[in-house]
Amino acid sequence: MVRTHRRADALKNEFSQLGLKSATQNYTLHTSTDSRYGVNTYAVFYAPRSDGTEALVLSAPWTSRDQKTNTNAISLLLALGKVFKRCSHFSKDIIFVVSDGGAEGLQAWLRAYHGIREDTHGMELVARVNPNTVTRKGPLTHNRHCSMTDRFDETLHIRSGAIQAALNLDFSGTGDYNALGIFFEGVNGQLPNLDMINTIDEIARGLAPVKLTLHDELVPYTENLTKNYINSLKRMLYMMKYQAAGIPTGNHGLYLKYKIDAITLYGIDKPDWVSERYNLHRLGSLVEAAVRSLNNLLEHLHQSFFFYLLSDVERYTSIGLYMPPVIILGVSFIFQALSLWGFSSDLPLELDAIAHGEKVAVALPYSRRSRNFKVSATIISMSSIAGWASFQLLTTSIGFPGETLLLKLVASVGVCSMLVLSAVPSAHLRNRVLKKVKDSKAENSSSASAELPPAPDWILLKTFILALSALAVTTLSVLNFSLAVSIGIIIVLPYMAFRPSNYMVLSALQTAILLAISPAGLMMAASWWYEKDPSLILNWVLEGYEVIGSWLLPILCGVYLPLNLATIIMVLLPVS
């Protein structure tokens, strides 16, 4: 902690020597797993032609995404501060921010800058301080709240106006770079205006020539059209992977929560790549040109797309082209649900007609049978309660010795297992009782025709599962397209094809597949794929929810897990 304060004070003094007003901000964050402390350093260049109502932000974290010290980026901030101080043509203030820790450092600064606090239910409330109306030196009040996390964000003593755009710099080390990567995915799949990326691309191709790529993957161009198509597809899938997680790929993603267009410029240094090397001077020229371009904005970026998929820096797919497939995916769930709904009521009767002494085929008539929703509604409700209980177990610190994330996961899996182990035997027992009652009525009945049996419980339950799946996929497609597609692709075949069976082997196989695509199964698959401990994967998801506000954990526990549990119970129900 002492070292953190020393380096923050040293950086503050460096900004002050450049003639910029600078300060530090202490913050504290207590989550369900640990406590974090840090000190942010920030400085403001007040533009001579500015009235203090608009500003741009240049930020850099102390630690790069490759876990190295972000030396070049911080050096570039100081150099740009010295250059801008001698310029008289800027019409927007420039704010320099060096955030401590990971995303929590910049999150604390942004919350304090915008005057946001939280009540005891975790709901974000905007304080009476408005960045558009306060003066340059108007301080914010202390923000203290306690919900799932406990924060203390120190007052910002110097400030500027409403932030129009931001650039986050990530240039680790002190050497040169092979290329410049652009990270742009934000919290819960938010994206900056496409013109933000187009601006950097235009500068990199003209004023400050630099090799640009998406993320940190540099794929060479070839004359083979098939290979180029495959490479573009890979880049698009990389973007969808980052977007589906709902956790930003850099500190730029935190700005998007406040309607501030931002991207991260990442210096790629891979010695095995055979390409031109770019020094800090070249990258600094590009950043300076980008700031000059953003300085000319008359209003927020809004002319281009906010919903898109990138296959390259210069090529994109708009929402009008990529939305129809996921909507068709959701409609397919609805169509099968409607088909099952009709089948649950209409029971075909096999009748023969005799014409001229011979049997002839006739259209099958249908007889109505009753539907009993109690079992299906109970299973859906209990699955939702199990999902809520799992969410509470993962996000609440119980406080007993030896408490770990994996222990919380085991507890949540235990809750789900109890639901399955109690629901399935109860359904089979109920089926036997109803069958005996029906046989007894048939024996004692003087009527020639026995009463038709009600629709099987599994048909009604599967109808509800498919309808809720369609609702989840189509709704998520608007909020986070990549997450909706990922969920749809995972569940479409099992949820539509699986049904109860009298064969134990088939039932066991279906159950095993559903367990493999459960949240716990997906976490183990991610742990195997990325060769990381499962607790690290779980901690990453939990941290995204508690620190950044990602919806991934609530969606997995509140939407995906209940549907998965209900489907597991469905395939284990009696066939008739």
The secondary structure of 159-202 as a DSSP string is: --SEEEEEEEEE--SSS-BSEEEEE---GGG----HHHHHHHHH
Question: pTM for this one?
Answer: 0.82
What is the rounded distance in angstroms from the CA atom of residue 264 to the CA atom of residue 102? 14
pLDDT at 509 (0 to 100): 92
Ramachandran region, residue 188 (left: φ > 0; alpha: ψ -120 to 50; beta: rest): left
> H or E element: which one contains 328?
helix 319-345
List Cα–Cα distances, 394 to 325, 400, 557, in angstroms: 34, 14, 10
CB atoms within 10 A of CB 299: 8
Is 443 part of a structural domain of the chain?
A: no
Q: Which pLDDT does position 483 carry in this prediction?
A: 92
Say whether both 310 and 366 belong to one domain: no
Record the tokens describing residue 475, joined without a space. 């709704």
Report whether 333 contacts 466 (CB < 8 A). yes
pLDDT tens profile 359-379: 555 455 555 666 777 888 888
Residues 418 and 505 in one domain: yes
Same domain, 111 and 223: yes
Interstrand relation of 35-45 and 93-99 (parallel, antiparallel or unpaired)? antiparallel
CA gap 350, 364 in Å, rounded: 6
Say how many domains are in the chain.
2
**How many angstroms separate the CA atoms of 170 and 531, rounded?**
25
Residue 271 is assigned to a structural domain of this protein: yes
Provide the 3-class DSSP secondary structure of residue 56.
strand
Judgement on whether residues 485 and 561 belong to the same structural domain of the protein: yes
N residues, the chain: 576
Domain for residue 154, yes or no?
yes
State the CB neighbour count (10 A cutoff) for residue 98: 29
Residue 441 lies in a domain: no
Integer angstrom CA distances of residue 513 from 330, 420, 423, 552? 21, 15, 19, 22
267 and 385 fall within a common domain:
no
Predicted confidence at residue 533, as pLDDT, reads: 83
Number of neighbouring beta carbons within 10 Å of residue 153? 25
Measured CA distances, 53 to 5, 95, 157, 332 (Å): 31, 13, 17, 50
Same domain for 261 and 140:
yes
Residue 130's H or E segment, with its range, is none
**Structural tokens at position 395:** 């996000």
Q: How far apart are CA 516 and CA 119, in angstroms?
A: 38
> Residue 166 contacts by C-beta under 8 Å, 6 or more apart in sequence?
56, 57, 58, 59, 252, 255, 260, 261, 262
Two tokens at 457? 């419980």
Q: What is the CATH number of the domain that holds 68?
A: 3.40.630.10
How far apart CA 348 and CA 361 sit, in angstroms, is 14
CA torsion, ordered 448, 449, 451, 455, to nearest 10 deg? 160
> Does residue 134 sit in the same domain as residue 253?
yes
Domain termination site, one of 287, 314, 341? 314
Three-state SS at 407: helix
End residue of a domain, out of 294, 314, 334: 314
Residue 401: per-residue pLDDT: 46
Q: Output the DSSP codes for 360-395.
A: E--PPPEEE-----HHHHHHHHHHHHHHHHHHHHHH
Residue 42 to residue 325: CA distance in whole angstroms = 45
Same domain, 297 and 409: no
- Domain's final residue, options 272, 296, 314: 314
Residue 302: name the closest of 432, 164, 202 by CA. Answer: 164
* 240 and 327 together in one domain: no
Rounded Cα–Cα distance for residues 190 and 31 (Å): 24
Range of the domain at 340: 322-436+452-571
Q: Residue 215's closest CA among 145, 336, 311?
A: 311
Beta-strand ranges (E) seen in 295-443 are: 308-310, 316-318, 346-348, 353-355, 358-360, 366-368
Of 200, 127, 126, residue with least CA distance to 168 = 200
**555 within a domain of the structure (yes/no):** yes
Q: Are 37 and 125 within one domain?
A: yes
CA angle 269, 108, 160 (to 5 degrees): 95
Together in a domain, 74 and 164: yes
CA 525 from chain centre, in angstroms, equals 18
**pLDDT attached to residue 156:** 81
Indicate whether 405 and 546 sit together in one domain: yes
Mean pLDDT by 10 residues, the chain (576 residues): 81 90 87 80 87 89 88 92 86 90 87 70 37 40 42 75 92 86 90 90 86 82 79 88 89 91 90 77 91 85 81 85 88 89 64 52 57 82 87 74 64 73 65 63 54 75 92 90 91 88 88 90 88 84 87 91 90 80
How much is the pLDDT for 118?
55
Half-sphere exposure of 536 (CA within 13 A, CB side): 8
